[in-house]
Amino acid sequence: MHRCDLLADEDVAALLSRVSPTHLIHCAWDVSHGTYWKAPANLAWLASGARMLQLFLAGGGRRAVGVGSCAEYAWMGEVYAEGRSPTVPATPYGRCKLALCEAYEAAHLMGGATAWARLFFPYGPGDGEARFLPSLVRSLREGRPFDTSPGTQRRDFIHIDDVGAGLAALARSAVTGPVNLGTGVGPSLREVAVEAARAMGADPALLRFGALPLRDGDPAVLVADVARLRNEVGFTPRIGWRDGVARFVA
């Protein structure tokens, strides 16, 4: 294991010099729940990500894959496709992710082999406790009501095991530019919550849909067009959302 302060250029340079990696998958970012959308730290992670890419390629790195977000898209559609759906982020987080994506694309034009994974909604072991599924499961296990929105929002949930496998496949491929990393399926939050309660044998009456309002600007549907992922990268996620929820509960 190698330890490094990714926000310190000298630490990053020393690590890359010591390891001499051939491939880079850059996932690092501060996504502290509830604050990361507008946090000033987004600028620091943008700068450090661009600098790491520069140092990696200058040191002879062969292939770099950055990890972005569906927040890079303009949230005014249903199914989002690379190169066709507008990228007009509504948040500082999304803008900084998109800016780093453009740095990766610029590096490709300079001769670097790069790609950009535009991640949708990962979940699984190690998920932050304040996020939707962990907080739901905790409430149900403790026999407490779970207050939530009406749950009509559809989201493309992808299990973290598939995220890892998809990133590895993208790193091994020769595909360039943005590639959506999702499943192409968008269950509603209500469906996910009901399935979790069923898998746990919990009382579904504990799910209080509509106890909270929909958040301003919360899109009705966020689902990935996964044609590039399947047809060009050659990767198809293996874990369906129902199976994934059961695994998470277990």
Domains of the chain: which residue ranges?
Answer: 9-249
Give the pLDDT confidence of 207-224 residue by residue, as tens digits: 999 999 998 888 999 999
9-249 maps to CATH 3.40.50.720: yes
Closest CA to 153 of 175, 120, 110, 199: 120
pLDDT digits 0-9 by tens, 98-146 = 999 999 999 999 999 999 999 999 999 988 888 999 999 999 999 999 9
Angstrom distance (rounded) from CA 181 to CA 225: 9
For 222, the enclosing helix (H) or strand (E) is: strand 221-224
Calculate the dihedral angle through the C-alpha atoms of 40, 49, 128, 230, rounding to the nearest 10 degrees: 130
